[in-house]
Amino acid sequence: NAAAGAELFIVEGDSAGGSAKQARDRASQAVLPLRGKILNVASAGNDKLAGNQQISDLIQALGCGTRSKYRDQDLRYDRVIIMTDADVDGAHIASLLITFFYQEMPSLVRGGHLYLAVPPLYSIRQGGKVAYARDDAHKDELLHTEFTGRGKVEIGRFKGLGEMMAAQLKETTMDPRKRTLLRVDVIEAEAATKDAVDALMGTKPEARFRFIQERAEFAETEVLDI
């Protein structure tokens, strides 16, 4: 059974994995680095799935089996935390991982075990004061509320988790006392959620295009690169 509070951080890349391993609490936090993009399980056959090393490593690390063989009591971690860069590539990797869990371990998601870490995109400094912003809107908010005094304000943008020092990664993203986590939930009807996953992650590009046309407010020819 999972130790109380045990956490597995799934991290993209060896450099980010190195920082995360230094930043973790060894008593309760484990790190699994992924190399490159994970397989899109929604468009892959069972043979590809079975032969994929990353998928195999992930299933082995969790210890709970998949689909009909899934056993919640065998899950080794209370929280499985996807920790990717705060950019488009990071969001893509996170979406691929969420798709994997939704398809292969839906009970893990329904049980409230799957989370997204929220690493900062910016560091803001003024004199001895330091704060971290998760996005542009948060940065602007901090500049108007926390950094209104005198002195030059320095804004740095993180290119990725691997660029952050272990102490920064711990303080902003991994320390339970200071971090923000987003829990992944299935909040709509199961059928609607399954249809959305199939449309967005499946093998038919026309289904993706139709989904975007119907749902996205920004889906106008002049703003889409098509």
Encode pLDDT of 58-78 as tens digits. Answer: 999 999 999 999 999 999 999
We find that the CATH architecture of domain 7-118+174-187 is 3-Layer(aba) Sandwich (3.40)
pLDDT tens digit sequence for 120-139: 999 999 998 999 999 899 99
What percentage of the chain reaches a pLDDT higher than 90? Answer: 53
What strands, in cross-sheet order, belong to the sheet with 79-83?
29-34, 7-12, 79-83, 114-117, 181-183
Model confidence band, residue 108 (pLDDT cutoffs 50, 70, 90): very high
* Annotated catalytic residue 87: yes
Contact indicator for 128, 156 with CB cutoff of 8 Å: no
Position 70 scores a pLDDT of: 95
Catalytic residue among 74, 89, 136, 188: 89
Q: In angstroms, rounded to a whole number, what is the distance separating the alpha carbons of residues 17 and 24?
A: 10
Based on the residue annotation, tell me whether 74 is a catalytic residue of this protein: no
Active site residue 135: no
- Domains of the chain, residue spans: 7-118+174-187, 122-157, 190-226
The reply to whether 72 belongs to the active site is no
- Please tell me the predicted confidence (pLDDT) of residue 6: 96
State the pLDDT confidence band at 198, using cuts at 50, 70 and 90.
low
User: What 3-state class would DSSP assign to 61?
Assistant: helix
pLDDT of 100 over the 80 cut: yes
Of the residues 74, 87, 135, 188, which is catalytic? 87
Give the count of beta carbons closer than 10 Å to the beta carbon of residue 12: 26
